[in-house]
Structure 1
């Protein structure tokens, strides 16, 4: 879906992605200042993080839809379709490269970027709505969304309304944004660098693990949606690392220090 603005054609899918990216940068700017880091680093970091994020997102989507792209290789570069797991992986690589180059704390900057990332995901999912994609199984519930015949999956041509999976995920991502922003402030004296990032992995992992079971025709591995394997691993690793980091810290407190609390 698109509209004309003078001599320009504005595609709503791309517009929502752009708005999400701007929101992510704005939130990261605020978080960088709160954490005592130079927010100007963001603009240089973006020159590495955004391109690698786009490459990763596109690569994940192409692998996901390889049956189509293997038959239409000309569509691999320049076509529509992105995968968030690939975007996160590519963007994370960009953060690692930049922070190592500049001698910055990678974990601290991951914490700074995490709230904006999940907000960007919340906004970007509306691009799926305008493209009439990322919908679930047919439904007669009042909030079911109409899908045009040409955009319906094979086998679902006779149905008109479907679960708005994009909206479910967008809403839960926005709630996750509130959780991350609240945690960073309310528990700032107890959190370690990297904890906000781990909370992001846990939150989004749970969201995707649950919602993935309501999508028709998804990429599977061993009969299980591939996104569920990834999301489940993210949750387990995130929980384990959070527990270990804080539990290990408690174990290593010397007795001489604990006696001060008595």
Structure 2
């Protein structure tokens, strides 16, 4: 009788052991700084054509290409990437909570942000610029925006910067989205759209807009796009090395030309790691 009790107990323990092992085998590695895990979580924008966009075919844009290259150098294949939408207002919080391993989302490096998170890079030097109709010969400098209808999205500071510093008589028009601004630009309801030149080039590179718009080339500000990581993470050095390799092997220039080139975007040379232009 005792023998049967011991045998039954052993069977129960064995079953529990097998169950625990099976459950443990399903646990996903979040990736972190070691690389080679089952998944790595990367934050991008979902709504910026040419930079970070979620499409029916998947994810596309310069930020996506940069992030994919970096992830590969960290030991992750494309199918091991878990893309997460990183809206501008959520980026620092997502990194601090550990929701993502890093963020590549037109993330300009600023002193205020550096107090909260670390940055690798920069990997692109962008500038505030304007987008105008391809046949417009009246806007050749920021001063020519005086008395022109200047559009930017609601809540953006870009248009206000122009009015405050460069064209005090510009007529500001706030639209809910960049796409709405583009439609207004096409219909001549507005004369110019302003934000980062990389963002403008991405929107203008869409197939329905090709050849209809051009960049002013005014370079009104410097925007140093970096890859955001949690403060103190050892990923910084690894990502910086990957970015250097991306430039060296030609992949960076290829990605810029593919995603932003159709709008006539004239990119700055690849920035040196740690070189932040004020």
Under a length normalisation based on structure 2, what TM-score does the superposition of the two structures give?
0.29
Q: Larger strand proportion, structure 1 or 2?
A: 2
Higher relative contact order (CA 8 A, sep 6+): 2
Under a length normalisation based on structure 1, what TM-score does the superposition of the two structures give?
0.30
